[in-house]
Every structure is written in C-alpha cells, then in structure tokens.
Amino acid sequence: MQHLRTLNLAMERFLSRFTRTQFLCAAVAITALNFVLDYTVAAYSSLYLSMLSGWLFAMGFVRFRSEP
C-alpha cells in the first residue's frame, strides 16, 4: 500500500508541473493532427490518438492536491 501512495504522489508531482492551458493546447493539437490524418491518409483511423486527446482534455479540468 505504501508503494501505491508513493507512486500516486510521484504522478501528482509530475503532472502538477503542467498548467491546465498546456494540457488543453496539447489536446487541441493532437485532435487537429488526428483530424488532418483522418482526412488526408486513406484508411486511417486512430483510436489511440483520440483517447490521448480526450485524456489531455480531461487533464485540463483536474485539480491536483499537494500533500506534504
């Protein structure tokens, strides 16, 4: 259980380095890339880029709590 808490704190420290605006800008950029690839490359469909942009979009609204 201590390992999970340590991992959680490490992830929160890493993710708190980025601002909400940075997460939202990254989500917009990846969504635009996915859109361009979808309409220019034949037989392209990427679920992974869509999931990544959705995760980044959601991270724009998450509040990170800081624990000592």
Please tell me the distance from the alpha carbon of residue 8 to that of residue 34, in angstroms, as a whole number. 30
pLDDT of residue 27: 92
Q: What single DSSP character describes residue 41? A: S
pLDDT of residue 25: 92
Extents of the domains making up the chain: 2-59
pLDDT of residue 45: 82
* pTM (2 d.p.): 0.72
Predicted confidence pLDDT, tens digits, the chain (68 residues) = 888 889 888 888 887 788 888 889 999 999 999 999 888 988 888 888 889 999 989 988 877 665 55
Question: Cβ contacts of residue 6 below 8 Å, gap of 6+?
Answer: none
pLDDT of residue 9: 84
